[in-house]
Amino acid sequence: MSVASSVGHVVSVSDWDDFVAVCYFGRDGDWLDRCMRRAYLDMNRTLHGMSELGENHRDWMSWMRRDLKDRLTMLPGEHAWTQASFDTWHHESVDMLKRISSEHGFSSLSVGQAQKWINMSIKYVIALGERRVPGFCSVYDVAHVALDNVVLERLTELGMSPLGCAWSRLDDYGQYMVVQEWVRKNFPTVPVEAEYDLWLRPRVDVDAEESRES
């Protein structure tokens, strides 16, 4: 007889799911806070010059997280998000993060860094599901692809023109939207599912492909 059966309890799939979620996102704050914090860690290594903030870094982070959460909490609810309305919300959110960052001493936040924080926060919320963060299913069909090294490499392998700079250096929102439009045009599914596919896609070995074709 197993230990689990002897005590009359078997850990369910949902229990293990909760365990993994807590291990990855931590215990502090509500689930939206945890998603934002995890998403920040995905991009903060690119924030060169943050040391200049010194003791003001904590205040900077407090303002940024507060205002980002205010924007994200606009997404759930009965409002039906169209692609156009979400695109407008996203552009305004990126502009807001850049402005708030500059007002609190860090003027170098780029469009690329802001989009990564926003898009990964939404991606994590979607991954955690309605049980933990209800209401975000309203943007499932219109959410953007988070641009990073993996995604951009896969997209260029599929024929998209290279971005021309590191994702963290991108500071032209129009150029950012060119990538989003390319994904929408070239994938038969919604962008968040396209991103999932891009992350699972094996890396193309160009030399090996050319060798097989020769």
Q: Can you give the chain as a three-state secondary structure string? A: CCHHHHCCCCCCHHHHHHHHHHHHHCCCCCHHHHHHHHHHHCCHHHCCCHHHHHHHHHHHHHHHHHHHHHHHCCCCCCCCCCHHHHHHHHHHHHHHHHHHHHHCCCCCCCHHHHHHHHHHHHHHHHHHCCCCCCCHHHHCCCCCCCCCHHHHHHHHHCCCCCCCCCHHHCCCHHHHHHHHHHHHHHCCCCHHHHHHHHHHCCCCCHHHHHHHHC
Residue 208, domain member (yes or no): no
**Domain range holding 159?**
12-202
Report the domain count for the chain: 1
Q: Is the pLDDT of residue 111 over 60?
A: yes
* Mean pLDDT rounded to a whole number for the chain: 84
Residue 3, domain member (yes or no): no
Percent of the chain with pLDDT over 70: 80
pTM of the model: 0.84
Residue 148, domain member (yes or no): yes
The pLDDT assigned to 214 comes to: 31
19 confidence band (pLDDT: 50, 70, 90): low
